[in-house]
Amino acid sequence: MADQAPANSTTSEDAMQEFIDTSADAGRRFPPKGQPLITGFNRIGLWSLYIKEIRRFLKVQTQTVWAPAVTTLLFLVIFTVAMGRGGREVLGVPFATFVAPGLIMMGMMQNAFANSSFTLLAGKMQGTIIDLLMPPLSEAELMIGIVAAAITRGVLVGGAVALAMWLYPGVELNAAHPWAIVWFGLMGTTFLALMGLLTSLWAEKFDHNAAVTNFIVAPLSLLSGTFYVISNLAPIFQAISRANPFFYMISGFRFGFLGESDIGNTNEAVLGAAVGVGILNLVLGFAAYRVLKSGWKLKS
């Protein structure tokens, strides 16, 4: 028995040393408390947020995708019946063909705004905002996920509206300049998605969101040359129209289909507007990022 004591002591010391070595290895594998485990760009988290937002509006796609297409088509029916009789032409094409691209773009922008303006506001109203703030997502990743989902909804609505108008008698949709369709379509939906994100940060109830929709988004959309060319307006109202960013997005989008618009009839003439709306989105995106990073009206 006496001969076994030193052996047991040695075994205990070896076990203790092994435990210390294991703890040291664990310390090297895990960073100190407070230091993030995920570094760099969280692609999995961003993708998860994006898919969550997509599934949210697709669950009620009758309301979020197809209903806006029907509403926009009703605009086309009403205006073509009221103003398109007698073979009236605008920019050298039938009135229905002239107004169709503007209505497609208007539907895309309004629904991009509706999607991004709902996410954070609904979280604040329902007390589930923590589900968006606690995951390991940076402010940039959170903004990208919300805005990308809003752009996706806008594009889906635009596709549904375009399909409905393509089937409508008297409307011809031809891609004269595909680059303009893609660029101004994406820039328009991005601009309204960023506006919607800022609105959801500012709003404290759904009435605030509705106020921005009814008093800012809808008027700017309807008074942007969607249904007319601004050359028919008085000089003062032409100047007001040119101060409306929606005017350049809708006119550029129309140029992509018709090859003619209020801002020019050549690629070179429209290129300045294309660069301008891109810069405007960069500025608005930076502003949205800074507001989101500050935690304004999100973190107490």
Q: Are 206 and 295 a contacting pair, CB within 8 Å?
A: no
pLDDT at 85: 59
pLDDT at 12: 62
pLDDT at 18: 60
Task: Give residue for tokens 């940039």.
Answer: 140
pLDDT at 2: 45
**Chain segment 54-70, per-residue pLDDT in tens:** 999 999 999 999 998 89
Dihedral angle of Cα 216, 279, 202, 122, to the nearest 10 degrees: 90
pLDDT at 90: 84
Q: Are 87 and 94 a contacting pair, CB within 8 Å?
A: yes
How far apart CA 207 and CA 171 sit, in angstroms, is 37
Sequence spans of domains, the chain = 45-294
Q: Is the dihedral of CA 73, 244, 223, 84 positive or negative?
A: negative
**Chain segment 97-156, per-residue pLDDT in tens:** 999 999 999 999 999 999 999 989 998 888 888 888 888 889 999 999 999 999 999 999
Question: What's the predicted TM-score (pTM) here?
Answer: 0.84
pLDDT at 30: 56
pLDDT at 1: 44
pLDDT at 180: 95
Q: Is the dihedral of CA 292, 293, 299, 300 positive or negative?
A: negative
- CA end-to-end span of the chain: 67
Residues of the chain with pLDDT under 50: 1-5, 9, 26
Find all residues with CB under 8 Å of 107, minimum gap 6, and list them.
Answer: 68, 69, 71, 72, 157, 158, 161
Q: Are 208 and 202 a contacting pair, CB within 8 Å?
A: yes
How far apart CA 88 and CA 53 sit, in angstroms, is 43
93 backbone dihedrals φ, ψ, rounded to 5°: -130, 160
